[in-house]
Amino acid sequence: MKCAWIYGADQLMIDYHDKEWGRPLHDERGLFELLCLEGLQAGLSWKIVLNKRKFLREAFDNFEVEKISQYTPDDVEKLLIDPKIIRNKRKIEAIINNAKIVNALHERNESLDSFFWGIIDNQPIINNFKNPEEIPTKTKLSEQISKTLKKMGFKFVGPTIIYSFMEASGMVNDHLVGCYGRN
C-alpha cells in the first residue's frame, strides 16, 4: 500500500514518494534546496517543481549557498528569461535572500540541519493518519517555525510551505498508516 496521493501519479511522483518524501534529510545543501523548492511551489503543484528540479539545480548552481548568496541583479535577469525554470521574480529574489541568511548562519558555525532538527530534538514526528483528509496543511509548530524564520529575514517561508518542507525532509512522517514509506 502507498499513500493515497500517489495513486494515478506519474513515475517521477512515484519515485519521489518511494525514495525521498518523508525520509530524514540532514544534508545541508539538500535542506537548502528543499526549502527553495518548497518556496517555488507556492501556488503551483509539486509535480511542476519536480519536473523542473533538474533545470533549477543547473540554474541555481546546484543550490550552493555560497554561490547563490553572491548573485547580482544581472543574475536575477538571466534567471527570469530561462524558460526551463519557474520564473517568478519574487521567488528568485527570495532564494538569493535566503542563501545570504544561510551563508551568515554558516559563518557563525550554525546550520539549517541543527536549526530545523533541533526544534524536534532530532526525532521525526510520526503521525498516524489513516486518510489523506486527516493530514494538515500547517500546524502550530510550522507556524512557530515560520515566524522564527521570518524574524531571521527569510522569505517564502509561510506555515504551509514550512509544513510541506517538514514532511518532505522527514521531520514529520505523514505517510499514511499502511504505507510502506512509513518505515
Q: What pLDDT is attached to residue 181?
A: 84
Catalytic hit among 5, 20, 46, 143: 46
Average pLDDT, the chain: 96
**Half-sphere exposure for 102 (CA within 13 Å, toward CB):** 29
Label the pairing between strands 172-173 and 125-126. parallel
- Is 38 annotated as catalytic? yes
Q: How do residues 145-157 score in pLDDT, each as one tens digit?
A: 999 999 999 999 9
Please enumerate in sequence order all residues whose Cβ is within 8 A of that of 137, keeping only pairs 6 or more positions apart, or say none: 160, 163, 164
Nearest partner of 45 among 14, 2, 76, 13, judged by Cα:
13
Q: Measuring CA to CA, which residue among 137, 183, 133 is closest to residue 162? A: 137
Instruction: Give tens-digit pLDDT for 89-143.
Output: 999 999 999 999 999 999 999 999 999 999 999 999 999 999 999 999 999 999 9
Q: How many residues does the chain have?
A: 183
26 marked as binding residue: no
Whether the Cβ atoms of residue 156 and residue 91 lie closer than 8 Å to each other: yes
Q: Count other C-beta atoms under 10 Å from residue 55's C-beta.
A: 14
Q: Is 175 part of any known ligand binding site?
A: yes
117 is catalytic: no
Catalytic residue among 38, 71, 163, 167: 38
pTM as predicted: 0.96
Q: Is residue 180 flagged as an active site residue? A: no
DSSP state of 172: E
CB atoms within 10 A of CB 114: 14
Instruction: Consult the annotation and say whether 36 binds a ligand.
Output: no
SS (H, E, C) 92-127: HHHHHHHHHHHHHHHHCCCCHHHHHHHHCCCCCEEC
